[in-house]
């Protein structure tokens, strides 16, 4: 690995010879592989992890694997049973566990794609909380929405906006996670492109952009609200110096997070303020930086009522909501030709969001209106709120599941009723087919399908049910 000379010079001076030598060695090592299980989808099932190395110390649901399997060909990944995530970024779970109590909150993950930190947060937020997940880049926001739907929790709203767009809303958040775009030094060993794109000028550009992002969203954070600032880079300009700028210029105070002394987490490299660095070679994972701040001053958005363009669907088409659990808790809204179920307690916030933000997923997408019928969506199939008894069910073999995920027609057993059929794998919902008698139409989303024509060897399951 040929590191940029300017990076080497600056980082050696910042870290000191010993720590920089550790980083150099770490960057030459192979990246480690880690996953995080979805506690909601494995709540009542006993299981083991194939190829397990050890648990991630700061994340209850995180685990290192001994080697990287072919995740693409594990149906349970596509079903949202687990998520492939770099272990250092799972530190967010430990941070949230220290600052949360049982009080429901409104939280924003500001730069959320592909969804790792969002699903970390959603797995431990108090019941009755609502989570916004935002990504400004359209293609990345689609990936975020896909991963949120696979995770299955209904109390998430996904938006495709720049932080400044939130200024137009009166949404006030108790916690904002800002994993801001950065120069990507922490990804050097995983991404050769990050090395090639690095420059001192890019570092300066990123530092300025990060400040602009935090400034844009600051008034949407409640007084005494929490900002969790993070990057995947090593330099102090984007890390410690930017956090000091937030504290001094916007009005905040540092929050110290208790950590185990055995965890190889590096403190601040330029002062005594509590921040948390993960450095490859010292920590088993990639490089990240994280700081936790409490807002002490600054203006807030004043709440005001706005009229949403969304309309109730009840008078347009008869919809049987028995396909979800406790339908009495949900209100139906339309988004073009989509029928969306929003928990009633979040309806006013949802309508506020849709007034000034580009909402690309929210609640449970029940399906697409086709004439007087609704074609059920993948969001419903993977939702934790799916009423499984509503649809006839067919269990798939491994090979059938891979065919289904390639959007190939999967023959159904003789005697299968006509209509919508729920397909499962290892008793986990995978998606829908429509049985029309002589054949079945695969309803898996075209944009989600496995595109590889490779034929996998054997069974690639990571989760082994007992």
Secondary structure of 76-99 as H, E, C letters: HHHCCCEEECCCHHHHHHHHHHHH
Alpha helical stretches, state H, 167-199: 192-197
Annotated binding site for S-adenosyl-L-methionine: which residue ranges? 111-117, 135, 179
Q: Which residues are annotated as a binding site?
A: 111-117, 135, 179
pLDDT at 115: 98
For residues 110 and 126, give the distance between their C-alpha atoms in angstroms, rounded to a whole number: 19
Residue 327 has φ and ψ, to the nearest 5°, of -60, -20
Q: Which of 59, 182, 232, 333 is catalytic?
A: 232
Calculated CA dihedral for residues 173, 113, 165, 360, nearest 10 degrees: -100
Structure tokens at 85: 């995530």
Which pLDDT belongs to residue 316? 55
What's the confidence (pLDDT) of residue 78? 98
pLDDT of the residue at 395: 98
Low pLDDT (below 70) residues in the chain:
298-317
Q: State in Å, rounded, how far the first CA of the chain is from the last one.
A: 43
Could you tell me if 3 and 195 are in contact, meaning their C-beta atoms sit under 8 angstroms apart? yes
Distance CA 444, CA 433 (A): 8
How far apart (Å, rounded) are the C-alpha atoms in residues 420 and 434? 4
**What's the pTM value of the predicted model, to 2 decimals?**
0.95
Is 333 part of the annotated catalytic residue set?
no
Q: Which has the closest alpha carbon to 364: 407, 425, 319, 395?
A: 319
Task: Check residue 320 and give its pLDDT.
Answer: 87
pLDDT of residue 336: 84
CA distances from 329 to 205, 332, 347 (A): 47, 10, 11
In this predicted structure, what is the pLDDT of residue 304?
A: 55
What DSSP state is assigned to residue 441?
E
Among 401, 465, 459, residue whose Cα is nearest residue 429: 401
């Amino acid at each position: 690995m040929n590191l940029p000379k300017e990076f080497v010079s600056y980082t050696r001076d910042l870290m000191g010879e010993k720590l920089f030598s550790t980083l150099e060695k770490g960057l030459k090592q192979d990246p480690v592989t880690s996953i995080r299980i979805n506690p909601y989808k494995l709540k009542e099932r006993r299981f083991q992890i194939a190829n397990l190395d050890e648990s991630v110390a700061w994340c209850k649901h995180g685990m290192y694997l001994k080697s990287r399997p072919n995740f693409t060909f594990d149906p349970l990944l596509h079903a949202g049973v687990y998520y492939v995530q770099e272990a250092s970024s799972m530190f967010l779970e430990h941070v949230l566990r220290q600052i949360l109590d049982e009080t429901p909150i409104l939280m924003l993950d500001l730069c959320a794609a592909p969804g790792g930190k969002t699903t970390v947060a959603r797995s431990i937020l108090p019941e009755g909380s609502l989570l916004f997940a935002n990504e400004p880049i359209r293609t990345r926001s689609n990936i975020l929405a896909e991963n949120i739907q696979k995770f299955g929790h209904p109390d998430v709203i996904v938006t495709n906006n720049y932080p400044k767009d939130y200024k137009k809303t009166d949404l006030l958040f108790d916690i904002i996670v800002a994993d801001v775009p950065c120069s990507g030094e922490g990804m050097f060993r995983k991404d050769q492109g990050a090395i090639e794109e690095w420059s001192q000028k890019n570092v300066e550009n990123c530092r300025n952009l990060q400040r602009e992002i935090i400034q844009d969203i600051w008034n949407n954070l409640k007084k005494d609200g929490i900002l969790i600032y993070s990057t995947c880079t090593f330099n102090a300009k984007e890390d410690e110096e930017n956090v000091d700028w937030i504290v001094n210029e916007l009005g905040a105070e540092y929050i110290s997070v208790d950590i185990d002394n055995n965890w190889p987490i590096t403190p601040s490299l330029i002062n005594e303020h509590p921040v948390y660095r993960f450095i490859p070679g010292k920590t088993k994972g990639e490089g990240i930086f994280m700081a936790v701040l409490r807002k002490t001053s600054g203006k807030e958005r004043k709440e005001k009522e706005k009229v949403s363009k969304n309309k109730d669907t009840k008078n347009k088409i008869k919809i049987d909501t028995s396909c979800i659990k406790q339908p009495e808790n949900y209100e139906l809204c339309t988004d073009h030709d989509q029928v969306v179920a929003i928990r009633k307690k979040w309806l006013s916030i949802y309508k506020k969001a849709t007034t000034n933000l580009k909402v690309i997923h929210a609640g449970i997408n029940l399906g697409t209106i086709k004439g007087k019928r609704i074609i059920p969506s993948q969001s419903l199939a993977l939702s934790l709120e799916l009423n499984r008894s509503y649809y006839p069910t067919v269990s798939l073999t491994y090979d059938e599941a891979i065919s289904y995920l390639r959007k190939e027609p999967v023959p159904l057993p003789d005697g299968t009723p006509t209509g919508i059929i729920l397909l499962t794998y290892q008793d986990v919902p995978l998606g829908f087919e429509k049985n029309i008698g002589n054949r079945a139409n695969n309803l898996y989303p075209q944009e989600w399908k496995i595109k590889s024509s490779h034929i996998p060897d054997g069974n690639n399951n990571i989760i082994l049910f007992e």
